[in-house]
Amino acid sequence: MEIAKLYLQNFRNYKNEKIQFSSGINVLQGQNGQGKTNILEAIYYLLTGKSYRVRKEQELIFWGENAFHIFGDFLAYERRLSLESHYLDKRKIVKINHVPCKKLSDFVGTINVVFFSPDDLIMVKGGPAERRRFLDLHITQLNSRHVHLLNDYNKVLHQKAALLKSSIQTSKVSNIEIWNEQLLDLGSKIIRNRWRFTQIIAKKSKEIYYQLSSGEEELSINYLALGHQDVEEALHEFPILLEEKMKQEIERQMILVGPHRDDLNFQLNGKSARIYASQGQQRSIVLSLKLAELEVIYQEKGEYPLLLLDDVLSELDIFRREYLLEFIQPIRQALITMTSAEKPSTEIASLFQVDKGHIGRIN
């Protein structure tokens, strides 16, 4: 999958800018604060309906304006696809091949994208919610039903939480049991999906990390479901825990059992990465995960997703940089941002200079 053209109107620091990309590696170079990340953000927004950085579309509008427009021409499975995303009067409008699209979820996943952002480092050092978000987002790209599962599960959580907080004590237990049944059913499916995805991604990222660290370090990733590494054990325990913890849940007015509290555990050479990994190692872990995801999507979909790498080269040693650039050579298209000091020796299809919201092609 690849992007052929991008046209931005009043998006971030772009007033009116057109870019034509090539297949292969496209480098966006420029000093800090010129608009390199904004380009990747626009593409990501167009493909997923979400910004990587903010929740409010308002922040994406060029200051002082009241709307933004993003147009992109893509190629996937030898077909051209034009996408538009408009935000005006606080409303989103998405068009596919010029036809308004009712539900964005019908479209998401048609063109896959893998985005490495420096913000992703929080996945290693941050709380479990970040890691669950990674898992769910990426499972969704391959299996859109996972979104519905999550939505249904969250609704049940919401209802159960309201019940736990309510002051009506009579019939509370039997009502909680009703919600627990659904929580068990939906939660078990979520656990299976996440566990299955982790198995695949863990194996691939282990191989990639091993290469990336010249065979020096071993990365292991485990999904911890209800505190268990063994998924069958977790699923067996699930109904028992729901029963056991009910009293405590009522006392504390909190839901204590379910996959909304699960985690992913990263280890380097058997030691917790969250506690011990250096900045460069964290970056390498996230990078290995993203490259593994790229391979998984390729295997499932038969085409490489679009790869967006933001500021990936800084803090990688020369060996790791070379490995990365080698790795992405066969990929159909990658967009990489960097400051000019990091210019790689690899063959580059297109080089762009980004300067105060203007983009010039250098080769």
Q: What is the 3-state secondary structure (H, E, C) of 90-110?
A: CEEEEEECCEECCCHHHHCCC
| Minimum gap (Å) between residue 115 Cβ and Mg ion | 12
Question: Interacting stretch for ligand ADP, rule CB under 6 A, among 33-41, 71-79, 109-117, 159-167?
Answer: 33-41
Query: CB 174 → ligand ADP: shortest distance, Å?
Result: 52
Part in contact with ligand ADP (CB under 6 A); list of ranges 1-9, 27-35, 117-125, 270-278: 27-35
Say how far apart CA 264 and CA 317 lie, in whole Å: 26
Burial (Cβ within 10 Å: 0-12, 13-18, ≥19) of residue 40: buried
Asked if 29 interacts with Mg ion (CB under 5 A), we say no
Scanning residues 50 to 109, which ones bind ligand ADP (CB under 6 A)?
A: 59, 61-63
The three-class DSSP label of residue 141 is helix
Q: Which residue is nearest to Mg ion (CB)?
A: 37
Spell out the residues 6+ positions from residue 326 whose beta carbon is closer than 8 angstroms to its own: 346
Please choose, from the candidates 73, 68, 71, the residue with its C-alpha nearest in 3D space to the C-alpha of residue 54.
68
Q: How far apart are CA 296 and CA 133, in angstroms?
A: 18
The answer to whether 37 is a known ligand-binding residue is yes
Q: How many CB atoms lie within 10 A of CB 20?
A: 15
Provide the minimum distance between the beta carbon of 64 and Mg ion in the complex, in angstroms, as a whole number. 22
| Residue 170 is labelled as binding a ligand | no
Count of residues that bind ligand ADP according to CB under 6 A: 16
Identify which of residues 47 and 354 has a Cβ nearer to ligand ADP in the complex: 354
Q: Is 37 in the site for ligand ADP (CB under 6 A)?
A: yes
Nearer to ligand ADP, 189 or 358 (CB): 358
Residue 30 interacts, among ligand ADP, Mg ion, none and using kind-specific CB cut-offs from 5 to 8 Å, with ligand ADP
Task: Specify the length of the chain in residues.
Answer: 363
34 binds Mg ion (CB under 5 A): no
Residue 143 burial by CB count (10 A; 0-12/13-18/19+): exposed, middle or buried? middle
**Contact between 30 and ligand ADP (CB under 6 A)?**
yes
| Least CB distance to ligand ADP at residue 262 (A) | 33
β-strands 350-355, 99-100 pairing? unpaired
9 is in an annotated binding site: no
Query: What is the C-alpha separation between 147 and 141, in angstroms, rounded?
Result: 9
Binding site for ligand ADP (CB under 6 A): 12-13, 30, 32-38, 59, 61-63, 337, 354
Binding site for Mg ion (CB under 5 A): 36-37
Q: Which residues are annotated as a binding site?
A: 30-37
